[in-house]
Amino acid sequence: MREGTITGRKTPLFLGIAIALQSHAAPAQETQPQVARIDEVLVTATRREQSVQDVPYNISVVSSDLLVGTGTALHPGLQLAWQPVVPARTSSARTPRVLFLCTGNSARSIMAEALLNFWGRGRFRAFSAGSHPKGEVHPLTLQSLEHSHLPVEAARSKSWNEFSGAAAPKLDFVFTVCGNAAKETCPYWPGAPMTAHWGVDDPAAVEGTREEQLRAFNRALRELDARIKLFINLPLDSLDKLALQERLREIGRTEPLKD
């Protein structure tokens, strides 16, 4: 929780979950407090009967997050400039689980896992695995992630067998990010997840100097980043299964990035 004071004269006001509005103008007859309930948040405002042209207000902001459309509830002369971030998923459904697959689980799938867990901000739970895991994450994968300020602590090369079988966590989406994994026969995935192929060139296959190799890893990271941002902005709750499947395939058909 943050508390603070914002004072202004007939200016747009930033608001939070609870706002106490009080005029510091000369004493005047008060009307009954105006009360509005917006998105389950109670906002109370007291107005004094005099001109609003030059009336200073003192606002105690308990939280700087959301409220949309409460300006008129507070006072007809107030407008809101704040555009809150509204949680995309408000239902009680569990967080969607997403598995990224490639053959070795040392580069592309590790990057995708880190990106979705970062940009999803709790709205998704991402995992990664390989059909034939190398057992260790490629050093340039870690370097690329760290350079982009993405967490690497949970990065681990592992088999897709960890996510198959009745005891494994139920999955909602499975995306292959390399051609070899897409051609292999996948295990049984609990939850009957939706699948799509988001192929990205293997940066570990690039030969040359370390700088050239690192450039290939950074390019793969940017390609995956662009696709994952498209994915997290899909209206999952409003798309039917066929429409969602097509949108997932469209994301996989996006053009590779140029250097």
Largest Cα–Cα distance of the chain, in whole Å? 80
**Residue linked to tokens 């681990």:** 156
CA distances from 181 to 52, 79, 174 (A): 66, 54, 11
101, 102, 112, 221: the catalytic one is: 102
Residue 104's alpha-carbon distances to 123, 144, 159, in angstroms, are: 27, 17, 9
Task: Decide if 258 is catalytic.
Answer: no
Concerning whether 119 is annotated as a catalytic residue, the answer is no
DSSP output for 194-254: EEEE-----GGG--S-HHHHHHHHHHHHHHHHHHHHHHHTS-TTTS-HHHHHHHHHHHHTS
135's tokens: 């057992």
Identify whether 8 is a catalytic site residue.
Answer: no
Catalytic pick among 19, 140, 178, 251: 178
Count of beta carbons in the 10 Å neighbourhood of residue 243: 12
- Within 8 A by CB and 6+ apart from 32, the residues are none
- Name the token pair of 184: 């292999």
Q: Which member of 17, 186, 214, 239 is catalytic?
A: 186
Residues catalogued as catalytic:
102, 178, 186
